A and B are shown apart, each in its own frame.
Chain A
Amino acid sequence: MKIIVCIKQVPDTKGGVKFNPDGTLNRAAMLTIMNPDDKAGLEAALRLKDQYGAEVTVITMGLPKAEEVLREALAMGADKGILVTDRVLGGADTWATSSTLAGAIRNLDYDLIITGRQAIDGDTAQVGPQISEHLNIPVISYAQKIEIDGDSVIVERQYDDRYHVVKAKMPCLITALAELNAPRYMTPGGIFDAFKADITVWGRANLVDVEDSNLGLKGSPTQIAKASDKVRKGTGEKVNLDADASVEYIVGKLKEKHVI
């Protein structure tokens, strides 16, 4: 079985956010991590590898620096890493990103593609389903459990108040929830090997069946009109009293606001 896992290097949003003058994210200026949902997707792939035997290829689109998350994935147990990087791919929205990744994936054989549900920078959850559309394969989003059954996958698909047990013929794309599993750590041997491993680097020329008009900032239907720091409502009052006085304070406020 061949599994492709799409991963993304994301800014660690705990470290604050920096912008370019055009309103796009200045990724080079921030601390980065492997996106948590993607890491769960990778772990799911590695567990399928442990259980059924599989070749796991990780692919990422980003700046040359994104090679770091590929090496981390290799150190966790992935077999191959592919970096898709090219100046013309910059500034892509989800349409252009999914077109790019689909163009890269068309070079590869696969039974299963796993992506994280969403990345913590954009929070869109769009790229996985959009890749599946470009590749004309089924998608099962929000996977909380994945099993293989012959030439099919059986997946628990989470909804707000229920889950569906869904069966799909492979090839198929699955988007993983961080809740799916607890990702393994890199092993010392894995880190050593990953450091030496060859990373395949692809540019625009390696993308199959994608028009230039679907790539990068120019190929992005959505455009940023404005980006700004979130304006939070101001801090109110803060008191530090003993328990009884605290209770009196809260009851007073509830009365003042006619809650009681």
Chain B
Amino acid sequence: MALEEYKGVYVFAQQVDNQLSSIAFELIGKGKDLAKDLGTEVTAILAGYQVADLADELAAYGADKVIVIDDPELKDYRTEPYAHAVASVIKEFKPDIVLVGATAIGRDLGPRVSARVHTGLTADCTQLDIGDFPLVAIPGKEQLHNQLLMTRPAFGGNTIATIACPNFRPQMATVRPGVMQKLPKQEGAKAEIINYNPGFTPDNKYVEILKVVKAVTDTVDIMDAKILVSGGRGVGSAENFKLLEDLAAVLGGTVSCSRAVVDAGWKPKDLQVGQTGKTVRPHVYFAIGISGAIQHLAGMEESDIIIAINKDETAPIFEVADYGIVGDLNKIVPALTASLKAELANK
């Protein structure tokens, strides 16, 4: 296949219940960087049912073009019709790069699509660049330019690897939510709208959704919080999280937790930080009674300021903490809450 025929940076604009996910804007933001290096444009792939009016929002965050695929079969996410939609766009429009969010949807959609169009897919990327492959010229081997270099943690966060996809197109990556920056919203920006429908004929691969069960939580998304007060197994019980909630309340922060806490049933999964939870980068991250397993660190180490409180002075969390306090959280946290309350009352 002629690789140079493939042009443009395409992003999958994930929507759920006809609301665009934050990752859609993050991918456009990163896509703009890549497109600038390549001298090309960013196209959002918007698939769903009665979603056409979301195109303006994608434009406001920087999309140059929006391909709208509107069909009743795309109402709720199902692998097959969505894979068909995206694979058809790839076959029709021949993008150079396709970015998909590494969400519970994108990590199912991406592999199915990459297998269908026969190209590589790099999972859970945390950094994307345009550069040469091989990185350094090797005698006797052609060095390719303008390649997508996809960087990701692997082996439970122990290592990072940079991956290229030199001989197949498009170059596909799923990208971790919360890592790339979205652009400031430009109200009134317009994108070129392309309506496209490849036709959807149900076959053996179409599954039937019998029921949609939404988790009932009224909590804010921890990925948007500026201050996170995060608790681990060391907090001891669901009831004892009250200490963390009080601290969060004084600081206008939000409570999050480690995987151990979710496994123990103390907090719901949508508050979990880490490799199998969410990636967060708040201004301040309190790690309270969290030992700091590598999978947890992978989800929070980009936070601006990390304050760790743990009674075990050898806990790995201290290796990434800006300020580590060895001590008993049951004594320190309530006293800290009281002290901050007094401080803030005097302002």
Contacts and interface: CB of A to CB of B under 8 A. Distances in A.
Interface stretch (B25-33, B53-61, B102-110): B102-110
A129 B327 contact: no
Contact of A251 (B116, B270, B339, B347): B339
Contacts of B156: 13, 120-121, 123
Interface stretch (B182-190, B230-238, B318-326): B318-326
Contacts of B275: 123
Size bracket of the A interface? 35 or more
A238 B335 contact: no
Interface stretch (B42-50, B66-74, B88-96, B199-207): B199-207
A125 interface: yes
A242 B328 CA distance: 9
B322 A220 contact: no
Contacts of B327: 240-243, 246
Nearest to A177: B276
Nearest to A37: B276
B270 A233 contact: no
A125 B123 contact: yes
Contact of A259 (B211, B213, B227): B227
Contacts of A169: 204
A139 B313 CA distance: 46
B166 interface: yes
Contacts of B119: 95, 221
A95 B118 contact: yes
A139 B108 contact: yes
A123 B162 contact: no
Nearest to B105: A159
A160 B207 contact: no
Interface string A228-247: 11101101111111111011
A25 B270 CA distance: 33
B20 interface: no
B111 A225 contact: no
A197 interface: no
Nearest to B151: A226
A233 B153 CA distance: 15
A236 B77 CA distance: 44
Size bracket of the B interface? 35 or more
Interface in B111-164: 111-112, 114-116, 118-124, 133-135, 149, 153-164
Interface string A125-166: 111111011101111111000000000001000111111111
A11 B155 CA distance: 8
A192 B199 CA distance: 55
B36 interface: no
B250 to A, nearest CB: 9
Nearest to A152: B208
7 contacts: A98-B115, A124-B111, A126-B107, A224-B163, A238-B313, A238-B326, A254-B340
Interface of B: 16, 76-80, 83, 103-105, 107-108, 110-112, 114-116, 118-124, 133-135, 149, 153-168, 204-215, 217, 227, 251, 263, 270, 275, 283-284, 294, 297, 301, 305-307, 309, 313, 318-328, 331-332, 335-336, 339-340, 343-344, 347
Given A13-B158, A165-B209, A179-B263, 17 more contacts: A98-B115, A124-B124, A130-B115, A133-B111, A141-B108, A154-B210, A162-B215, A165-B211, A221-B118, A223-B166, A227-B154, A230-B153, A232-B297, A233-B301, A235-B324, A243-B327, A247-B336
What are the 7 closest A-B residue pairs judged by CB atoms, nearest first? A221-B120, A222-B120, A133-B115, A124-B123, A238-B324, A236-B322, A13-B156
